[in-house]
């Protein structure tokens, strides 16, 4: 997928409906919700094609990843219902904290990490909203690998 060029002016806010309290505050819309949902559905199709009939354990990284995870899982479930393949999914949650207020900290707290033994031997899909420096994701991947999953993929 091609990225958005640095000089992309975005779409005029006049093309969209948005809450009145944003009036005057929006210069442009870079990625409309419909485009995000189309890409999410495409990603769900890719996951279905890639995993086929192999079960998958979804690990949603909270707090930011909850909406993306929900949308992606919904798309996978719709495709699963309308497919000759059957993909069994389980969804678990983990919360990672690497910021205190608005500052990055060297330590990463994992909340919910004690229940990750369910990932042993599974195909794991980690769903994260934002991968910034990658430090938090690397820490999570190291932790998940300790449970010896069959496969790990990251969607974000």
Per domain, the residue ranges of the chain are 33-155
What pLDDT, on a 0 to 100 scale, did the predictor assign at position 117? 86
The tens digit of pLDDT for each residue in 19-29 reads 899 888 989 99
What pLDDT, on a 0 to 100 scale, did the predictor assign at position 2? 67
For domain 33-155, which CATH number applies: 3.90.1150.200, 3.40.50.410, 3.40.50.2020, 3.40.50.1370?
A: 3.40.50.2020
| pLDDT bucket at 71, cuts 50 / 70 / 90 | very high
Looking at the annotation, which residues are catalytic? 132
What pLDDT, on a 0 to 100 scale, did the predictor assign at position 52? 59
- Cβ of 63: how many Cβ atoms within 10 Å? 12
The tens digit of pLDDT for each residue in 117-135 reads 888 988 999 999 877 777 7
Q: Is 74 helix (H, G, I), strand (E, B) or coil?
A: helix
Please report, rounded to a whole number, the percentage of residues in the chain having pLDDT higher than 90. Answer: 35
Q: What is the spatial distance between Cα 117 and Cα 3, in angstroms, rounded to a whole number?
A: 37
The tens digit of pLDDT for each residue in 30-62 reads 888 898 999 999 999 998 888 756 789 999 998
What pLDDT, on a 0 to 100 scale, did the predictor assign at position 126? 94
Q: Is 56 left (phi over 0), alpha (psi -120 to 50) or beta?
A: beta
Q: What pTM value is reported for the model?
A: 0.80
What pLDDT, on a 0 to 100 scale, did the predictor assign at position 58? 94
């Amino acid at each position: 997928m091609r990225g958005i060029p640095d000089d992309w002016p975005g779409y005029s806010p006049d093309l969209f409906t948005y809450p009145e309290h944003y009036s005057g505050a929006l210069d442009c819309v870079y990625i409309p919700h419909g485009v995000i949902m189309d890409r999410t559905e495409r990603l769900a199709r890719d996951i279905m094609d890639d995993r086929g009939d192999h079960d998958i354990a979804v690990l949603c990284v909270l707090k930011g990843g909850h909406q993306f995870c929900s949308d992606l899982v919904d798309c996978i479930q719709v495709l699963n219902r309308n497919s000759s393949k059957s993909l069994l999914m389980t969804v678990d949650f983990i919360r990672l904290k690497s910021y205190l207020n608005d500052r990055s900290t060297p330590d990463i707290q994992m909340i919910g990490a004690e229940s990750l033994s369910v990932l042993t031997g599974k195909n794991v899909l980690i769903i994260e909203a934002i991968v910034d420096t990658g430090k938090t994701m690397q820490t999570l991947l190291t932790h998940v690998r300790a449970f010896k999953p069959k496969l790990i993929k990251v969607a974000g």
